[in-house]
Amino acid sequence: MTFFTKTAIAATLTLGLFLLFTACTVVDKARDFSGEQVARAVEVECALSWPEREKNLDAVNRGLAARGLESRATALDCNGDGKPDF
């Protein structure tokens, strides 16, 4: 192999690794953002009264059923006992 070929291969590998690490960073940031959004949604949902939470859960299950999907959404565990609240 010539010097140019070796340099081109090394540069390509370096660029590939850089792009891979950049992509991993983007994915990690997206996961962090998504996690924050989910935590906020859970906090808001747990602050609602039980009838409001039950109404929201019923709406989610109706939406799933309307799309032909299994209606299996369950209530959140807002009281910390490890089981859905209702």
d(CA 43, CA 60): 18
- Reply yes or no on whether the pLDDT at 85 is more than 80: no
User: Model confidence over 11-30: pLDDT tens digits?
Assistant: 888 888 888 888 888 888 88
Domain boundaries, the chain: 1-34, 48-80
- Reply yes or no on whether the pLDDT at 5 is more than 80: yes
Longest distance between any two alpha carbons in the chain, whole Å: 74
Record the tokens describing residue 71, joined without a space. Answer: 């209606």
User: Model confidence over 30-83: pLDDT tens digits?
Assistant: 888 888 888 888 888 888 888 998 898 899 899 999 999 987 888 878 888 887
User: Model confidence over 75-84: pLDDT tens digits?
Assistant: 878 888 887 7
